[in-house]
Amino acid sequence: MAEVHLVLGGARSGKSRYAMGLAESSALPVTFIATARALDEEMAARIQRHRQERPAHWETVEAPVDLAGALDVISPGRFVIVDCLTLWLLNCMEMDRMDALRAFERALEAHAGPVALVSNEVGMGVVPADRLSRRFVDELGWLHQRLAVRADRVTLMVAGLPLEVKG
């Protein structure tokens, strides 16, 4: 069973940097599962920046929807970072692939290595005005709750500082 560390926080809170530090301190080979899609120039630039921040020897797997499939083929002797669940959920919603959530949760249960899951905590602000945004906030909140129950550790990042919530 995977050792799961859920890393939550707002935009630019240090989530990815923290997860990368966990991976580096593990002394294991690292697989980075990226979920972002470059749908515009700004997002392409963000993705490129993230790629440059990762060590070149880390394996990168692009999985905008099929996180279960990506996780299933990674050997248990590797540290896995999934970055990020927020964009992944958005991809699943846009492609009408909500079945991918349960598939990922099952794959996570079956995985045998350490996994750091990075996600934005978006439910701490005002309730969104439009229906689709409210659904996204709800779905992400429910996903976080299920993963937090399963996780060995949960860390909330605030201004670059880790606050241990569980573990």
Domain containing residue 50: CATH number: 3.40.50.300
Is residue 50 part of the annotated active site? The answer reads yes
Domain count, the chain: 1
CB contact set of 67 (below 8 Å; sequence gap of 6+): 33, 35, 82, 88, 100, 103, 104, 107
Tens-place pLDDT, residues 116-164: 999 999 988 888 889 999 999 999 999 999 999 999 999 999 999 999 9
What is the C-alpha separation between 130 and 149, in angstroms, rounded?
A: 29
Tell me the average pLDDT across 63-73.
96
Host domain of residue 64: 3-166
Residue 34 forms beta bridges with which residues?
62, 83
Residue 38 has pLDDT above 90, yes or no: no
Between 144 and 53, the higher pLDDT residue? 144
Identify the active-site residue in 5, 50, 111, 144.
Answer: 50
2-31 b/e (C-beta count within 10 Å ≥ 16 → b)? bbbbbbbbbeebbbbebbbebbeeeeeebb
Tell me the average pLDDT across 21-28.
96
- Could you tell me how far CA 26 lies from the centroid of its own chain? 18
